[in-house]
Structure 1
Amino acid sequence: MFIKQILNNNVVSVVDEQGQELILTGRGLGFSASAGEQVNMAKIEKTFRLHDDKISARFKALADEIPLEILQLTDDIVALARSALPHKLSEGLYISLSDHLHYALQRSHDALTLHNPLQWEVRHFYQAEYGVGQQALALIAARTGTLLPDAEACSIALHIVNAGLSTTTAKTGQITQLIYQVQNIVKYWFRVKPDEESLNYQRFITHLKFFAQRVVEGEIVDNDDAELFAMVQQRYKKTVACVEAINDFVQKNYHHAMSQSEKLYLTVHIDNVIKRMTPADTGA
């Protein structure tokens, strides 16, 4: 592999035998090296293979500003996330997460703690991503000696969620908030306490994630389910009334009118989940 560009003493860009550009990190990897030379294979610690040219360019710019330790931590946390989650994660996670970790450690050094207002929602609705966030805190503590506050597990989880949804971080916050709002409408409507460990509840939350993403992105799904929805309206009248209340809420607050298909799918998921719920105090 030949060196294409030296980003700093510890990070270089190379071209492999297939002509693919890679970004390599390692202590002293770029020191006293020159473009066009063979890379010192013994010094390579991490390999970043980014297929998106724009993300690769941004990562190279960031690598010149962020310490080697943070870049390597980011790679290990991304590997944790990919092993724990069934869906693909955007390469942009390398950018957003390394930048976040850099400033989170700086804030910790300056004794500045920021509260994440979505911590409860993330812990309940993105349990797998939050678990990765907690593992990340342990990894960061082991590598840097700094134990970041638990709120950072939530922030790391949100970056991972965002990489899975392929949307902006701001919209991820809106999506998470809408999931919380809709499940609360269901809880108050039926005056029940959800069994958060049940498979039906997890399916319900998964459906809400994609529904909320469509609402926030302004997308509508309509599969011409009018006949099936008419049948559901007769069979699940109370659940359909709840869904109509949800429709009124998202129209007012998100300017999204639900299609019959959206109402149908949400009705089925809600009906499945309330069968497993138990009457309880509806306090949030």
Structure 2
Amino acid sequence: MQVKKVLNNNVLIATHPEYGEVILTGKGIGFAKKAGENITVDRAEKFFVLKSEDEQNQYKQLLDYIDETFIGLMNECMEMVEARFQVKLNEHIHVGLTDHLYFAVKRIQQGLDIKNPFLKETELAYPREYAAAMEIVEWLKVKLDLAIPEGEIGFITLHIHSALTNRDLSEINRHTQLINDMVTVIEDSLRIKIDRTDINYLRLVRHFHASIERVQTDQFRPDQQEILAKVLREEYPVCYNLAWKLIKIMQQKLQKSVPDAEAVYLTLHLQRLSKQ
């Protein structure tokens, strides 16, 4: 490879014969290097390809205000996650998570509180990613000698899930917000305050996430639930009608059709919750 540009002592851009422009990271890899010099891949602790020109530019901009030590910590974080899941992460995490954590740390150092209203829902939806995020937070606490709020685990979880599934972070956030909106509708309609630790609430949230995933990927199977639907409609009319209200909200937000059978499953979940 040929050095194209040295970004700092530990990061440089090189031209790879197969991948084109790549980013190399490693302690001292950029020290005294000049554009045009040859460099072998074994000199790098890590190298990655940001195929999107926008992401390349965003990463370069990060290096203008984030110090080299923090960049090094972030690269170690990515390696921890990849080792844990035995996969290659989508490389947009280098931009997204580095940017997010840098400013999160700055806010914490300034004494600003970090709120995460969807922490429990995030843990329920993505338990493997949540466990990895907890490991990262504990590791950063030691490395930075900093008390990191629990809410930050949820935000890191979403970045990890985004990188593992190649899904846009904004889409994941929209789905989380949709579930939160539907829970609010349930509380208002049934005139209850749902206990977020109740097993029936945990089941409902898991069901919502699975249902949204099936709708998005068109993986619903034909399901003959007409008889059960008729029974539920007669036995639990309030919950059955509320189930259809939630289905219409999902269809509007996701801009996709939701199968009628979903009313059956939601009615059962809602009936259990309504017993509170």
Short-chain TM bin: 0.7 to 0.9
Q: 1:195 to 1:154 in 2, by over 3 A?
A: same
Q: Which amino acid aligns with 2:58?
A: R
How much does 1:151 deviate?
1.6
Contact 1:3 1:39 in 2 (8 A): yes
In the comparison of the two structures, how many residue pairs are matched?
A: 269
Q: What is the alpha-carbon root mean square deviation over aligned residues?
A: 4.4
In the alignment, structure 1 residue 210 sits paired with structure 2 residue 213:
yes
In the alignment, structure 1 residue 247 sits paired with structure 2 residue 244:
yes
Aligned to 2:151: 151
- In structure 2, C-alpha distance between the alignment counterparts of 1:263 and 1:87, rounded to whole Å: 37
Q: Which amino acid aligns with 1:262?
A: P
How much does 1:95 deviate?
1.0
Q: Which amino acid aligns with 1:245?
A: L
> Where does structure 2 lack aligned partners over 5 or more consecutive residues?
none
The TM-score normalised by the length of structure 2 is 0.72
- In structure 2, C-alpha distance between the alignment counterparts of 1:119 and 1:203, rounded to whole Å: 14
Contact 1:116 1:154 in 2 (8 A): yes
Aligned to 1:262: 259
- In structure 2, C-alpha distance between the alignment counterparts of 1:86 and 1:240, rounded to whole Å: 48
Deviations 1:221-240 (A, max 9, x none): 59795x83545534654689
- In structure 1, C-alpha distance between the alignment counterparts of 2:87 and 2:36, rounded to whole Å: 38
Contact 2:2 2:35 in 1 (8 A): yes
Aligned to 1:63: 63
Q: 1:14 to 1:146 in 2, by over 3 A?
A: same
Q: Which amino acid aligns with 2:264?
A: T
Contact 2:22 2:49 in 1 (8 A): yes
DSSP-derived class of the 2:65 partner = coil
DSSP-derived class of the 1:23 partner = strand
Contact 1:90 1:166 in 2 (8 A): no
Contact 1:250 1:257 in 2 (8 A): no
Q: 1:52 to 1:128 in 2, by over 3 A?
A: same
Contact 1:122 1:157 in 2 (8 A): yes
- In structure 2, C-alpha distance between the alignment counterparts of 1:86 and 1:207, rounded to whole Å: 24
Q: 1:194 to 1:165 in 2, by over 3 A?
A: farther
The TM-score normalised by the length of structure 1 is 0.71
In the alignment, structure 1 residue 44 sits paired with structure 2 residue 44:
yes
Q: Which amino acid aligns with 1:120?
A: K
- In structure 2, C-alpha distance between the alignment counterparts of 1:48 and 1:224, rounded to whole Å: 39
Q: Which amino acid aligns with 1:155?
A: F
DSSP-derived class of the 1:50 partner = coil
Q: Which amino acid aligns with 1:103?
A: F
- In structure 2, C-alpha distance between the alignment counterparts of 1:261 and 1:30, rounded to whole Å: 53
- In structure 2, C-alpha distance between the alignment counterparts of 1:246 and 1:178, rounded to whole Å: 15
Aligned to 1:104: 104
Q: Which amino acid aligns with 2:103?
A: Y
Q: Which amino acid aligns with 2:12?
A: V
Q: 1:195 to 1:119 in 2, by over 3 A?
A: same
Q: 1:182 to 1:82 in 2, by over 3 A?
A: farther
How much does 1:108 deviate?
2.3
- In structure 1, C-alpha distance between the alignment counterparts of 2:168 and 2:36, rounded to whole Å: 38
Deviations 1:116-170 (A, max 9, x none): 222232233332222222111112123222231212112212323444472343x
Aligned to 1:22: 22
Q: Which amino acid aligns with 1:207?
A: A
Q: 1:72 to 1:232 in 2, by over 3 A?
A: farther
How much does 1:73 deviate?
2.8
DSSP-derived class of the 2:259 partner = helix
Q: Percent identity?
A: 21
